[in-house]
Amino acid sequence: MKIDSFELYVAKLELKKPFITSLGVINYSDHIFLKVFSEDGEFGWGECSPAYFINGETVETCLAISKKLTDSIIGISCFSHELIQQKLDSIIYGNHSIKSAIDVACYDLASKSKKIPLYKYLGGELKKKIYTDYTVSLNDIDKMVKQARSIVERGFKIIKVKLGDDGKKDIERIRLIRECVGSNIKIRIDANQGWTIEEAIETLKKIYKYEIQYCEAPINREFSYRLNEVKEASPIKIMADESLFTLNDAKMMVHGNHCDMFNLKIGKQGGIYESTKIIEIAEKNNIPMQVGGFIESRIIFTVNCHLGHTSNFIKHFDCDSPLFHKINPIIGGVEYKNDWELILPTANGIGVDIKKDFLKSCSKII
């Protein structure tokens, strides 16, 4: 089934409240919703939400290159994922956000054409329950403790705490949050590259007693070549995030013994195809993984759940972002049962569509 044409829709989704990390404050998320059509009229959906502070991309940069990228794969079979990736990469280096939207749409189209859900198309099967965490934004200590309490009262069993602006404050944040939520709640942390190497080691050693699952991105990715120093000194497991964009990054993380775990994001990795290659590296080297994202809609987090059913090494799910939005523009997609248990749709493909009234409010680009 050959790729025939594309439509792009640009939108902003307002958040219920500001999302704060050591990298900055987010009040809304930018989105490009991408629709691919086959020559017989079947379609698939993809999406990206460019995070300029992570990957240097914006909606404007995505749109600037989007037509060259989409034109390069017109007439190619939607099942030829490796060729599609090669064509996209031949046009421009990087630009993983818009490439991921194209890649995801092609996978949706391909699996719908086969009349099977995406996880089956990827060789997976439904064999696990999926539970997401919920994130405590970086803030004043008392506000973070209050948010942690509220999250637990909603029924979440896992919280992710944003840290990274000050190691000493971070120790106190974790102490008080653990005291507030009790010992039965799992806590994982994300420094968003905010600590120095020395600060990371000292902070991780001091919060170890508060039973932390793992730490994402303790130091700036510019010092990824020294991440192994943190890993070797830390009693808490280290998860590579911003240090892990490409397949070669994954190989370097393994070769240098830089981390204990991988964090996969469709928009960071450049799509499903590249993610599956990184999953293969993780499986060969017994590296557990988490699937997460930026602040995309349910399209991408439904893809995350499909991916989660393809590998026993995908053990953790950071899929709370759709709960941050004031509105949900998606039809179908993953169900947030009681907010924290994620249930895949039974439909073919990803199992999503977009509300027509919402699309009418978007800027349409053909």
SS (H, E, C) 270-304: CCHHHHHHHHHHHHHCCCCEEEECCCCCHHHHHHH
Give the pLDDT confidence of 39-54 residue by residue, as tens digits: 999 999 999 999 998 8
Handedness of CA 266, 231, 53, 245 (dihedral sign): negative
In the numeric block, the tokens 């939108």 are attached to 11
The mean pLDDT value for 67-82 works out to 98
The mean pLDDT value for 12-23 works out to 93
Cβ atoms of residues 129 and 157 within 8 Å: no
Instruction: Report if pTM > 0.85.
Output: yes
Q: How far is CA 79 from CA 19, 96, 109, 217, 273, in A?
A: 37, 20, 9, 34, 11
Give the pLDDT confidence of 102-138 residue by residue, as tens digits: 999 999 999 999 999 999 999 999 989 999 999 999 9
Domain spans of the chain, in order of start: 3-115+355-365, 120-350
Reply yes or no on whether the pLDDT at 158 is more than 90: yes
Residue 314 tokens read as 């995908």
Give the pLDDT confidence of 167-196 residue by residue, as tens digits: 999 999 999 999 999 999 999 999 999 999
The mean pLDDT value for 273-299 works out to 98
What's residue 162's pLDDT? 98
Radius of gyration of the chain (CA): 20
Cβ atoms of residues 259 and 231 within 8 Å: yes
Q: Average per-residue pLDDT in the chain?
A: 97
Chain center to CA of 264 = 6
Question: What is the CATH architecture of 3-115+355-365?
Answer: 2-Layer Sandwich (3.30)
Domain 120-350 bears CATH identifier 3.60.20.10: no
How far is residue 43's CA from residue 60's CA, in Å, rounded to a whole number?
A: 25
What's residue 24's pLDDT? 85
